[in-house]
Chain A
């Protein structure tokens, strides 16, 4: 086990903050400074709270997605999984009068189950995860629409408000959901960095076969990371329901792309074996900042995805350059 843990500890560049994170912090600082100078409403409490609250669900799922991508996998079904959780939980909140804790528990349970299905298919079918999760993306969306039954869920009570973006979702001005996201990210960061089974994720991403021969329980780890991602999708669904109101059929659409964007902007290699949760937190923050900036500057909202696309290219491109330089040294 220590043999796996050691190489990273010995690498001098592998401080707590690696290359990509430092760059990201710089870029975010620059963006914030520029926005603060050009838009006087940017550095208001409500705007910053708004950014953090919108970023929270992406960050939460990103924590699991980072682990999945580190194992050289991917999960594009999270948006549909969220939709399933949202419709069931919203229905239960409205019609069953579910309390806070059981509602969150139910969400986590459903999410984890859906994730486990992905994990089992990926681990046992031996097919590339993107294909499997494309399949389950459609399946889960079907399940969600079937439960919606042609009607959106309206009038959801604010039971999950403490996780939402409203006033009751904040303590000392900080949105609970984002604090929760950061706490989860910190836990995951420590797990992936210091716990043997966490190190195994990197080994699987580096070379699954070599990892298996070295005694890593590949199947079990894969089941674990996909189930975790599903569970976190359930938690993110709770944050999105938040103060209640309306849950529409389109819930969760496009979430997978936002999460994957946050993860790769955060410097996690899509080929597996490299990346940190810290980067993902920053990547999500960058995406959130860009979204908010486009709105504040009065540009058309559709431009947001153009910027996200460009940021992905720049982030991955700079990573490729660093990689090339490392190799040529």
Chain B
């Protein structure tokens, strides 16, 4: 790590300006967006080198990177959902987003595929359904005072179970559902840009814009940061702590609903285990939020960092698939995700260390009001 010269001295000695590399180092250490931009550039450049050298199974070009955005959409939307919940503080975390994706997807599948509802009312109803699932989490955590880890663990169990039972463990893939695949077709762009999945424009950009506006341009966003930073201070400032936290969870449900619709469209089928198969969607979403610089203790984190982190993970995963043959690729994606998470948290540690030096080891500060 680069050293920084002392910034101020009490007895009026000359203040040394930190050198340029030191300042750059600090920027990368303290500004997550800058670090992620650098990592993205490094990743793409490295993949280009591997590509030119013929180490890859296929070309890692703009078209491939644009096509990889298909998995970027649900992942990024869920990471934003986690961001809202984690920001709300008191150990906020939502383990149930994957289960909410499964259950909302099944509900959407029933509406469109079995009951023959028209598309637009079904979309609205699915989003409302997701919001309701999130609201249950919010009620348990914000109103009843359950620790969010436990509440969402329990509701995650319940939702995934209901999703599996709802259609006897079978997917819904009737004709109307298969037609939904058009929602997620590739669209051609002007200016020689490669074709991009349609849901990038119809789902991702609205979701990112919504969360960004909420966090940066509304009173709710300010309250959310306030509650996450210091609950007691927020309460003294007449902020409704439970109301704010409740809304964060409900919004996470809404975003999960959006991710569910995208997932149904992508698979052209409503799968009862869409968000819970394997390690599920919740773990990657949390990983991306943390990688994007959202402090697990709440109150700190930006939309830009999370989106960049999601992009980094998706393009890294896409690169890994081209590098390794067969099932090894999926394995190495696990390795990459784990390493990224541990590395990014250990990067967070020195940034906060100066503040915490006197407070001893045992890295727990979360979960306590």
| Contacting pair B345 A132 (CB below 8 A) | yes
Is A204 part of the binding interface, using a Cβ–Cβ cutoff of 8 Å? Answer: yes
Q: Which of A48-93 contact B (CB under 8 A)?
A: 71-74
B171 to chain A, nearest CB (A): 14
A139 contacts across to B, CB distance below 8 A? 334-335, 338-339, 342
A79 to chain B, nearest CB (A): 9
Most central of B296, B334, B337 by chain A CB within 10 Å: B334
The digit string for B138-157, where 1 denotes a CB below 8 A from any CB of A, is: 00100011110111011111
Q: How far is the CA of A317 from the CA of B162 in the complex (A)?
A: 21
Name the interface size band of chain A.
35 or more
Q: How far is the CA of A139 from the CA of B342 in the complex (A)?
A: 10
| Contacting pair B157 A312 (CB below 8 A) | yes
Most central of A134, A146, A306 by chain B CB within 10 Å: A134
Is B348 part of the binding interface, using a Cβ–Cβ cutoff of 8 Å? Answer: yes
| Contacting pair A126 B361 (CB below 8 A) | yes
Q: How far is the CA of A256 from the CA of B331 in the complex (A)?
A: 20
A304 contacts across to B, CB distance below 8 A? 161
A123 contacts across to B, CB distance below 8 A? 361-363
Q: How far is the CA of A45 from the CA of B165 in the complex (A)?
A: 30
Which residue of the partner chain, among B157, B352, B360, contacts A309 with CB atoms under 8 Å?
A: B157
| Contacting pair B345 A302 (CB below 8 A) | no
Most central of B162, B328, B361, B367 by chain A CB within 10 Å: B361
Which one, A106-114, A226-234, A257-265, is touching chain B? A257-265
Chain B interface, number of residues (Cβ within 8 angstroms) = 60
Interface residues of B: mostly helix, strand, loop or mixed? helix
Which residue of the partner chain, among B93, B149, B160, B363, contacts A305 with CB atoms under 8 Å?
A: B160
A55 to chain B, nearest CB (A): 17
When C-beta atoms are compared, the residue in chain A nearest to B340 turns out to be A135
B342 contacts across to A, CB distance below 8 A? 121, 132, 135-136, 139
Q: How far is the CA of A310 from the CA of B162 in the complex (A)?
A: 12
Is B79 part of the binding interface, using a Cβ–Cβ cutoff of 8 Å? Answer: no
| Contacting pair B296 A127 (CB below 8 A) | yes
Q: How far is the CA of A211 from the CA of B360 in the complex (A)?
A: 10
B341 contacts across to A, CB distance below 8 A? 131, 134-135, 138
Which residue of the partner chain, among A219, A271, A309, A310, contacts B361 with CB atoms under 8 Å?
A: A219
Is A209 part of the binding interface, using a Cβ–Cβ cutoff of 8 Å? Answer: yes
| Contacting pair A310 B335 (CB below 8 A) | no
B203 to chain A, nearest CB (A): 26
Is B217 part of the binding interface, using a Cβ–Cβ cutoff of 8 Å? Answer: no
| Contacting pair B364 A73 (CB below 8 A) | yes
Q: With A127-B348, A264-B150 known to touch, is A306 a contact of B161 (CB < 8 Å)? A: yes
| Contacting pair B161 A313 (CB below 8 A) | no
Q: Which of B310-369 contact A (CB under 8 A)?
A: 326-328, 331-332, 334-335, 337-339, 341-342, 345-346, 348-349, 352-353, 356, 359-368
B82 to chain A, nearest CB (A): 12
| Contacting pair B338 A135 (CB below 8 A) | yes
When C-beta atoms are compared, the residue in chain A nearest to B348 turns out to be A127
Q: Which of A126-146 contact B (CB under 8 A)?
A: 126-132, 134-139, 141-142, 145-146
A74 contacts across to B, CB distance below 8 A? 149
Query: Which A residues lie at the B interface, using CB under 8 A?
Result: 71-74, 121-132, 134-139, 141-142, 145-146, 150, 204, 208-209, 211-213, 218-219, 222, 253, 257, 260-261, 264, 270-272, 300, 302-306, 308-310, 312-313, 316-317, 320
Which residue of the partner chain, among A124, A270, A308, contacts B150 with CB atoms under 8 Å?
A: A270
Query: Which B residues lie at the A interface, using CB under 8 A?
Result: 91, 93, 140, 144-147, 149-151, 153-158, 160-162, 164-165, 168-169, 278-279, 283, 286-287, 290, 296-297, 326-328, 331-332, 334-335, 337-339, 341-342, 345-346, 348-349, 352-353, 356, 359-368
B366 contacts across to A, CB distance below 8 A? 128
| Contacting pair A310 B158 (CB below 8 A) | yes
| Contacting pair A127 B346 (CB below 8 A) | yes
B331 to chain A, nearest CB (A): 5
| Contacting pair B349 A127 (CB below 8 A) | yes
| Contacting pair A72 B367 (CB below 8 A) | yes
Q: How far is the CA of A123 from the CA of B345 in the complex (A)?
A: 13
B335 contacts across to A, CB distance below 8 A? 138-139, 142
B72 to chain A, nearest CB (A): 19
When C-beta atoms are compared, the residue in chain B nearest to A311 turns out to be B154
B231 to chain A, nearest CB (A): 14
Q: A135-B338, A138-B335, A264-B153 are in contact. List 12 more A-B contacts (CB 8 A).
A: A125-B363, A136-B338, A146-B331, A213-B360, A257-B153, A261-B157, A271-B147, A302-B161, A302-B165, A303-B161, A309-B153, A320-B145
Q: With A145-B331, A309-B155, A312-B153 known to touch, is A222 a contact of B326 (CB < 8 Å)? A: no
A126 contacts across to B, CB distance below 8 A? 349, 352-353, 356, 361-363
23 A/B residue pairs, CB under 8 Å, sorted by A: A72-B364, A121-B342, A126-B353, A130-B93, A130-B296, A134-B341, A135-B341, A138-B335, A138-B341, A142-B331, A209-B360, A222-B361, A257-B157, A261-B154, A264-B153, A270-B150, A302-B165, A303-B161, A305-B157, A305-B160, A308-B157, A312-B157, A313-B140
Considering the complex of A and B, which 3 residue pairs feature the smallest CB-CB distances, nearest first? A126-B363, A138-B338, A309-B157
Q: How far is the CA of A40 from the CA of B144 in the complex (A)?
A: 40
Most central of B150, B334, B365, B366 by chain A CB within 10 Å: B150
Q: How far is the CA of A308 from the CA of B156 in the complex (A)?
A: 10
Q: How far is the CA of A69 from the CA of B290 in the complex (A)?
A: 22
A309 contacts across to B, CB distance below 8 A? 153-158, 161
